Chains A and B, each alone.
Chain A
Amino acid sequence: MNVVVCIKQIIDPEIPAEQFKLDPASKRQVRGGLSLVISAYDQNALEVALQLREKAGGKITALSLGEPEAQGAVKSAMGMGIDAGVLVSDPTLAGSDSFGVAHILAKAIHKIGLPDLILTGCVSGDTGNKMVGPLLAEELRIPSVAFVSRIEAKDGKIVARRIVEDGYELVETPMPVVASILSDDTNVPRYSKLKDIMAAARKTVPVWKAADLGIDPSCVGPGGRRLEVRDVGVVQRDSRCELVTGDTPAEQAERLATRLRELKVL
């Protein structure tokens, strides 16, 4: 079974608040010297793909769209054991919305060769739109299942565990299909071995441009956006935390209860 996993390189979302800065012109986060990571759920998606390969064989390709630095993300996926990687990087594609991103990824997947299964993370750790997986399926005219924690392949079909409010659903779908992956205790990303990281670092990742893919310029870049991003502002949180102190836990407990009663929440 062949799998393509779409991964996004983002600025580490767990940096402290004081290091978070926005560029007023692009309305995007300023990278500065901050570390780059593969968006968390994309890592879960890589793990799902690796486990499927252990059972069913096949080839896994990691596909990323981003700045030239995103070669690093593709290489770290290869360090985890992914067979091959491709980066699409072109300044004319920067600033695309999720529809544009889905269009670009679909074109790249056609160039790779349509696999049996395409995985994405269910939501990115930066913009958090939850859109690219299903939109990519629409572009490719194939079905999709969103927010999936586990996947089983059997009899040429996929059974996906889709997480819903009160539990989960088992969804049966033909292949090829797109699934957007949510974390759970079965898909915690594995640690890479040092020798695999070093071997991946020596590989070259092909970098494809817009012209290599036959991309429709009208639906990518800032001009292709369906909505205008007028403003992005940092939310100011009211950080006056009142500490409840005491000499013993019992005293702290007593004071906390009293304070909550005064605030009329108890």
Chain B
Amino acid sequence: MVHVLVVTEVQETLPSRNTLEVLGAARSLANATQGAVSTVVLSAPVEGLASALFDGGADEVIWVEHPLLVTPEPEATVAALTQVVPQVGAHVVLLADDSAARDVAPCLAYRLQAGLVTEVTAVQAEGEAVVFRRPTYGGRCLAEMVATRFPVVGTVKLRSMEPAPERGARPGQERRISVRLDESHVRTRVVQRVAEEVRGVKLENARVVVSGGRGLKGPEPFLQLQDLAQALKGAVGATRAATDAGWVPVSWQVGQTGKTVSPELYIAVGISGAIQHLAGMGGSKTIVAINTDPDAPIFKVAHLGVVADFKTLLPPFTARVRTLTEA
């Protein structure tokens, strides 16, 4: 009987896609153990949200309302969840492995005196234990971590779990838990949020991703990648080498410290295939590598490879894609 608590993130008035994936993982863990899934929303009740969460796999929705939770400061979130988790009595607390979790999950685990597993790609019960799997050594290896003391906190790697199948109009419980927070809980403050403009399709959700690396040798060739991405109705990504060089925004980075993508089609242009990059795109269904160096490690993970200079290959390829997709 594993009781799982999922920390919900709300997008507009619905659970985020990341939350639905985490709920999917929680649901299968609970189903396998005749357990239950609760989810906590750090806000006042939102019309329609509870039923979306029940649909997504929750048995119970817990509303936690407080003025200090209106703007999502990680420290306020940690302080609130530290009070909520013991009241719920959850064995496993799951969050999406996104930028918020980088601050929240370790501090929460510390204060709960709980274990923590980050970048979880699979979780299952084995008798009294809960087993987590996560990539390690930059994605070269998969580690199995066994929790026998509870609670334990896990952050679920994005795009590694499926949302639970829709269950239709399934009733669930709703309740409120009150927390005591004051200004002393919030030492760090966000004073400004700056969104980098994204035109077209969002990288994380794209069905096709065209990425460029060091081999592009500058920012201008990314325009060619944008052309191709546009023809494929996809998004443009980049390696750490390209974002570190300042050629494209950091938000385009795919890899261990950037975004994890698992599109239907991933086209790697001028990318050698550093381990830390593979960690962010290794789950793509079809990988195409375009590189002048036939020995580049990217060819070891690619399904289709073209040893060619992208400058001469991409224009005819983009034109051909346009003809095929517009026909």
Q: Cβ of A125 and Cβ of B316 under 8 Å apart?
A: no
In Å, the complex CA distance between A239 and B140 comes to: 14
Q: Which of A82-90, A182-190, A191-199 contacts B (4 or more CB under 8 A)?
A: A182-190
In the complex formed, the residue of B with least CB distance to A15 is B275
- Which residues of chain B are within 8 angstroms of A256 by Cβ–Cβ distance? 288, 304, 306, 313, 317
A257 and B317 contact, CB distance less than 8 A: yes
Interface SS of B by simple majority: mixed
Supply 26 A–B pairs (Cβ within 8 Å), ascending by A.
Answer: A14-B275, A16-B297, A17-B140, A17-B297, A125-B276, A126-B137, A134-B110, A144-B188, A165-B204, A167-B193, A168-B196, A172-B189, A180-B102, A184-B246, A228-B146, A231-B143, A232-B136, A239-B300, A239-B301, A241-B301, A241-B305, A243-B305, A244-B306, A253-B317, A256-B304, A266-B232
Q: How far is the CA of A265 from the CA of B309 in the complex (A)?
A: 23
> Residues of B within 8 Å of A, CB-based: how many?
93
Interface set, chain A 32-50, CB cutoff 8 A to B: 40-41
Is B2 in contact with chain A by the CB < 8 A criterion?
A: no
B286 at the interface (CB under 8 A from A): yes
Instruction: Classify the interface of chain A: helix, strand, loop or mixed.
Output: mixed
Residue of B nearest to A132 (CB): B106
Residues in B lying within 8 Å of A, measured CB to CB? 75, 98-100, 102-103, 105-107, 109-111, 114-119, 131-132, 135-149, 152, 187-196, 198, 204, 232, 240, 243-246, 249-251, 256-257, 259, 264-265, 274-276, 279, 282, 285-286, 288-289, 297, 299-309, 312-314, 316-317, 319-321, 324-325
- Could you tell me the distance between the alpha carbons of A149 and B198 in the complex, rounded to whole angstroms? 20
Indicate if A204 sits at the interface (CB-CB under 8 A).
Answer: no
**CA distance in complex: A185, B241 (Å):** 10
What are the residues of chain B within 8 A of A231 when measuring CB–CB?
Answer: 143-144
A234 CB within 8 Å of chain B: yes
With A and B bound together, what is the CA distance between A135 and B138 in angstroms?
21
Whether the pair B274, A14 counts as a contact (CB closer than 8 A) is yes
Q: From the candidates B99, B137, B317, B325, name the one contacting A29 in the complex (CB within 8 A).
A: B137
